[in-house]
Amino acid sequence: MKASHQKILEHVLQDISLTSEEQLEFISVISERKIRKKSWLIQPGEIVSNEYFVVSGCLKAYYLDDKGDEHIIQFAIENWWISDFEAFFTRIPAQLYVEAIEDSELLEIHLDTLEELYRRIPKFERFFRLKTTAAFVSLRQRILSSLQKNSRERYLEFCMAYPQIEQRVANYHIANYLGIKPESLSRIRKELA
C-alpha cells in the first residue's frame, strides 16, 4: 500500500472503524495529485468537484477583495482537508483561491464519488460529518476571537492552536490570517520575545 494511502487511512480510522474491504474500496476512489509551490489548486469561477486531503505540504485558501487585497480564510497542512467548501457543497463557482505555499502532495475525492461512498459505506457519512462539524466549530471560534480579542491575544491563540503552521508560513501570511498588519505582528513578536 502506498504511503499516502496509509496516511489517509490512519486519519480516517481515528474516527471510524472500517473492514479491510471498506478500506480498499475507499482507497480505490481517491486519486493522488501533486502541486508545486505558488501554484493554484482552485481559482475563482471554477466549478469545484473535489475536496483534498493534504498528505504533505502546506496550502492556503484566500479571497481577493475589490482592491486586490488577499484575505486568508484557511491554512491546510498534513492530515487536513481543503477546498472551496461552499463551492464544493453547493456546486456554485468558486470564490476562493487555493494555493500551495509549499510543494504539496494531496489525495482528492470527487463529490459524486463521495455521495456514492456514503451510500455504499454509511460510516463515511459519519466521518465527514465529524470533520465538517469540527471545521464549523473552528470557524465560529475564529469569528468570535476576531470580535472579542486584541491582536496579541489572537496571535497567542493562533500559536497555541497551530504551532506547526506558525513555524512554516511567512509572517505576512499569519498577519493576514489574523487580520492585522505585518508590522503589528512584528511588534507583538518583539514584545513577547
Residue pLDDT, tens place only, 122-163 = 999 999 999 999 999 999 999 999 899 999 999 999 999 898
Confirm whether 141 is domain-assigned: no
DSSP bridge partners of 3: none
pLDDT recorded at residue 166 = 85
Q: Is residue 57 part of a domain?
A: yes
CA distance 155 to 177: 10
Q: What is the spatial distance between Cα 145 and Cα 67, in angstroms, rounded to a whole number? A: 25
Cβ proximity of 83 and 48 under 8 Å? yes
Residue 144 lies in a domain: no
CA atoms within 13 A on the CB side of 167: 7
Domain holding 65, by residue range, is: 3-122
Q: Please check the confidence at residue 77 and state whether its pLDDT lies above 90.
A: yes
Q: How far is CA 71 from each of CA 53, 96, 118, rounded to the nearest angstrom? A: 22, 10, 33
Residue 89 lies in a domain: yes
- CA–CA separation, 77 and 188 (whole Å): 25
Instruction: Please check whether residue 188 lies inside any domain of the structure.
Output: no
- The answer as to whether 135 is a domain residue is no
Q: Which CATH number covers residue 46?
A: 2.60.120.10
Confidence of residue 1 (pLDDT cuts 50, 70, 90): confident
d(C-alpha 67, C-alpha 70), whole Å: 9
Distances (CA, A) of 76 to 27, 83, 190, 193: 21, 10, 27, 27
| Residue indicated by cell numbers 482507497 | 27
Q: Which ranges constitute the DSSP H helices of the chain?
A: 3-13, 20-28, 85-90, 111-120, 123-148, 151-161, 163-166, 171-178, 182-192
Total domains, the chain: 1
How many secondary structure helices (H) and strands (E) does the chain include? 9, 8
Is 171 part of a structural domain of the chain?
A: no
Whether the model clears a pTM of 0.85, i.e. scores above it, the answer is yes
Any domain includes 151: no
Q: What is the pLDDT of residue 79?
A: 96
Q: Give the residues across from 100 on adjacent strands.
A: 59
